Structure 1
Amino acid sequence: MGTITFLLVLSFLVFFHELGHFLAARYFGVKVHVFSIGFGKQLYAKEWMGTTWQFALVPLGGYVKMKGQDDSNPSLIEEGNDSYNTKKPWQRIIILFAGPFANFLLAAVLYFTIAMMGATTWAAQVGKVQENSPAFHAGILPNDEILRINDTDITSWEDIGKTIVNTDGALKFFIKRDGEIIAKTINPHIADSENMFKEKIKKRMIGISPSGKIITLDLTFSQSLIYAYEKTIFASTMIFQGVQKLISGVVPTSEVGGVISIGKVISDASESSIIALFTITALISVNLGVLNLLPIPALDGGHIMFNLYEMITRRKPSDQVFMFLTIMGWVILGSLMLLGIYNDINRIFLND
């Protein structure tokens, strides 16, 4: 069942990505010969609206084949107003960007759906209080519920961290204890901490940790839109930073996951709850959007760079340069895929 869920989710994400390219191409009048979910041998195909819609043997991706675009033959010229290579560079950039944008949009829709269904988070309830910390000296106790900090209403544990980090000076905490509202003034101190990439950082802290209590957020329609926007932006930023940290060596290559890891995460989420499955699907959708925007020639981001070059210099890169960079791009992508699979297999054996 897990494998089926994985293939359905991946096909769903690929479909939306390619649909973005397809709709943008059709908007600018470009003919699309093939819309494929998967690569390789054709398993099922149907002709509709001048396009062959197909499922192919290898379901780990997909593509739209447009008139006038062929990575394997960059010198291909197909004339006519319905050809990709006769469109202006800015139009081609929109067609290329539409795929990743569709992934970001899908993630936002999924996060919005999660918010309307009842997103869960940690409650703003104190678990442990670190000895000799600012919170300890201010008299904060376990199970205290934090209602407000200064003029900021607190609804979740995440709100506490944001407010402490983004506010200067002393903080006035309004807490609920045994049915009473108590005010406490706390002076945060700068302490050693770690970010999500396990880098050592300095951070304003008061010395408390969450109780672990889970609450369901009761969000209005407008609040759900804000929730979806913030989650999509956060996920995109996190993945961009992760790629940057990987390139700079902060994140070890052993952290790179492959198709096996993705399949396991999706399978586990599907067995947990529909909200967990939606959350993982949204995160992978953002991941696809971000990775496809990387300036690697074989990806959308690489083709966008080629078109930006053409816009600036008023000439296309030579066929030899295009082919060389495209091949290098496929080598990079292939190497990353093999690294991910290698790491996945290593984790399986280590867990055993």
Structure 2
Amino acid sequence: MEIVIKLSQFLLSLSLLIILHELGHFIPAKLFKTRVEKFYLFFDIKYSLFKKKIGETEYGIGWLPLGGYVKISGMIDESMDKEQMALPPQPWEFRSKPTWQRLIIMLGGVTVNFILAFVIYIGMAFAYGDTYVANADLKDGLLIENKAMLKAGFKTGDKIISCDGDQIVKFDNDINMKIIMAKEVLIERNGAQLTIKMPIDFVDQLSKQEKSPLVTIRMPFVVSAVTDESPNKTLLSKDVIVSLNGQKTKYFDELKAVLQSHKNKTITAVVLRNQKEVQIPVIVNPAGKLGVQMAGLDIESLEKLGYYKISKQEFSFFESIPFGIEKGKNQLLGYGKQLKMIFNPETKAYKQVGGFAAIFNIFPSSWSWEVFWNITALLSIMLGVMNLLPIPALDGGHVMFLLYEMISGKKPSDKFLENAQMVGFVLLISLLLFANGNDIYKAIVGK
């Protein structure tokens, strides 16, 4: 069932992004009276799952879910329709339109992608608000167990102050990406500030270990259940262990350290039970454990226990607009930084470029509209940025040649554009094989 939920989210998000992107080309083309021969979701190589001709346009769904397309008359694109291009230009063809109209048609897809992302972020701000823990409220710092982070010089209890001078105000999901993209991270440790220079190959280091968050909030040890084999039957579900052998164990990482130093011993534990502190003896087994299961707590439960204060900001419709725009801008700039890192061989980040399997895996196994829309907005930004790259066969390649034409007053020959399209197509296929090859390699080696 989980795979069905992930697949449903993946296909719904992909279909939405493709249809709206192609509509971004289709609508201005029709406004400028340019004939659109086909409008397809997915590719219809050899045959299509569905097709229907309405007016001059054939609408359909292909069988290969690797994208979609609109076929515009008189345009050198992936169809490589040389027969049509050999005929005299017709008034309804793309090549017959003024340069500025052709530019608008080509920019329509990525424009819709960016608008969609900003609209989603605005809608999410209005529907869900903004829930977070203020960085200032993380008095005892963060839990840091990621091996690459520890190697870089971080320690549990560190408080992240800023990344490349960008002040960290909120603790949320974005903080991990900010650390990954940073060259320098300013932390506070034991009341003193310290700058940690991030390794140039930090992303590559992360790829060589088991996946784990870079930083997380520190959690208390709350008993979920006592196993049948456990010698500690005096512990009850929902007990919060706050002290062991006279040492405060407010957080689980502190408790682990005490247990490891008292293997095969009976020590005194202080637990918070029904809002009262109770002393009980506990037996530490040879592995340095108590033989009980730890409960995973959400942020609301942690707030009730007095560990963290949740900040909740709600927005009216008009208040959600600037918040959503700021969120979209930050995501756009962040993805630009990721691309820059990928194209820098020293970072070795190119090893982590993923294909469709990587995109599929970012969707959760349980349905959440909030998560779905957040992922879809990010994918929309990624699709827009990638399509703007100046590679022939992508929108950015067409835009590059149109700008050359506008500046120089000379239009590249059809032969040149055909050759450029072929080069771009080969390059795209190579990138596609590389990205999806990375997915296959990771699946085989388990990383």
For Structure 1 versus Structure 2, the TM-score category normalised by the shorter chain is 0.7 to 0.9
Aligned equivalent of 1:50, options 31, 35, 56 = 56
Q: Within the alignment, does 1:33 sit opposite 2:37 as a pair?
A: yes
Q: CA deviation at 1:272?
A: 5.0
> Separation in 2 of the partners of 1:95 and 1:128?
54
Letter in 2 for 1:227: F
Aligned equivalent of 2:69, options 63, 76, 80 = 63
Aligned equivalent of 2:386, options 278, 282, 291 = 291
Give the equivalent residue in structure 1 for 2:369: 274
Q: Specify the structure having the higher radius of gyration (Cα).
A: 2
Letter in 2 for 1:319: D
Give the equivalent residue in structure 1 for 2:353: 256
Q: CA deviation at 1:244?
A: 2.1
> 1:76-115 residue pairs with structure 2 within 5 A?
76=86, 79-115=89-125
Give the equivalent residue in structure 1 for 2:446: 351
Gap runs ≥5 in structure 2 = 143-156, 158-167, 176-190, 204-214, 219-298, 300-307
> Separation in 2 of the partners of 1:117 and 1:307?
41
> 1:1-352 residue pairs with structure 2 within 5 A?
1=4, 2-39=6-43, 40=45, 41-71=47-77, 72-73=80-81, 75-76=85-86, 79-124=89-134, 125-129=137-141, 156-157=170-171, 191-194=195-198, 198=202, 215-249=311-345, 250-266=347-363, 268=364, 271=366, 273-351=368-446
Give the equivalent residue in structure 1 for 2:184: none
> Separation in 2 of the partners of 1:103 and 1:188?
44
Q: CA deviation at 1:96?
A: 0.5
Query: Partner of 1:224: helix, strand, or coil?
Result: helix
> Separation in 2 of the partners of 1:239 and 1:156?
20
Identity of aligned residues (%): 33
Query: Partner of 1:123: helix, strand, or coil?
Result: strand
Q: CA deviation at 1:157?
A: 4.3
Query: Partner of 1:312: helix, strand, or coil?
Result: helix
> Separation in 1 of the partners of 2:193 and 2:344?
30
**CA deviation map 1:165-220 (0-9, x unaligned):** xxxxxxxxxxxxxxxxxxxxxx9957224499949xxxxxxxx9966755543122
What is the number of equivalent residue pairs in this alignment?
295
Give the equivalent residue in structure 2 for 1:176: none
**CA deviation map 1:63-90 (0-9, x unaligned):** 1111211321464455333211111111
Q: Is 302-311 or 117-126 further displaced after alignment?
A: 117-126
Please, what TM-score do these two structures have when normalized by structure 1?
0.75
Relative to 1, partners in 2 of residues 1:197 and 1:119: Cα closer, same or farther, differing over 3 Å?
farther
> Separation in 1 of the partners of 2:344 and 2:108?
29
Q: CA deviation at 1:350?
A: 3.1
Query: Partner of 1:122: helix, strand, or coil?
Result: strand
**CA deviation map 1:231-256 (0-9, x unaligned):** 22222222222222222223422110
Query: Partner of 2:64: helix, strand, or coil?
Result: strand
Letter in 1 for 2:434: L
> Separation in 2 of the partners of 1:97 and 1:47?
26
Give the equivalent residue in structure 1 for 2:273: none
Q: CA deviation at 1:47?
A: 2.2
Please, what TM-score do these two structures have when normalized by structure 2?
0.60
Higher helix share: 1
Letter in 1 for 2:440: I
Letter in 1 for 2:49: L
